[in-house]
Structure 1
């Protein structure tokens, strides 16, 4: 059975079309793989695209940190599609090539910025353990405030959800490394 189906606008029912149009007219400008999957359940797709847009385009944290959090999450789930979309954005936002390469290889990454190092550590910790130590929680609140901490945890959770959807639908989930750039056919 074919898992991933990319439909054209003409293939969609009216509820799906409303969500499709909202995505295309929004800051993304295009319907990408996660949206195509979510359009199967438009009652989820609409709110999901709004949450995703809020996390990416309305966050109080700079793009360097939000894109890094997305990539740590993509790497955790071996999600090649999200890696391919967000690695160029992280690079353009200022995450170093050395850090991206280490993260892609699932090696311990180092960062020139204290903020990037904290985001990296926080995301890895919450994704590996499902919680944060008092030390990490306190450091994040001190550095980013409670709103910034909530944004980072929300990014890790939201992009974990997308990674599970993408992986289960056969979109870039079994790449040997997210940097491999291969989307498999199903």
Structure 2
């Protein structure tokens, strides 16, 4: 298992060592001891989520605020997505930086994002099964989000905007400048 820092403080990529043979493959997708040792703190995942999306589905940019903020470890079980992390922690050296990475069932890479980041992804393959671990429980009253095509961030989603499939809820999210101060997360 190879764990690497990204340009977002506290955000890491995790790439497994895959063992192939005539039966298929095997890899360790998570090892608490190795993960904790590398990032230097204990993360206790308490909730696993999974979604299925078809090509062009964009989910995000979402976050949880306050005491319900969530760190996430995300991966793709089937298909390919462009995964996006935005640092919203005012006290972070990477505040307002964006990290993007293609995650797929071919590279089996995962992204860990700390509490205080907004997250989203778009499905690039015909379909994708997306899985993520959270270190805190979902709380509807604490959910927040930002508009996916906010010009402030200018994210290249690697998919034609006119072909994106986006929920009504995500289409009316505010831009970063429209967010109220209490939606900005402090780590």
**What's the TM-score, normalizing by structure 2?**
0.27
Larger helix share, 1 or 2: 1
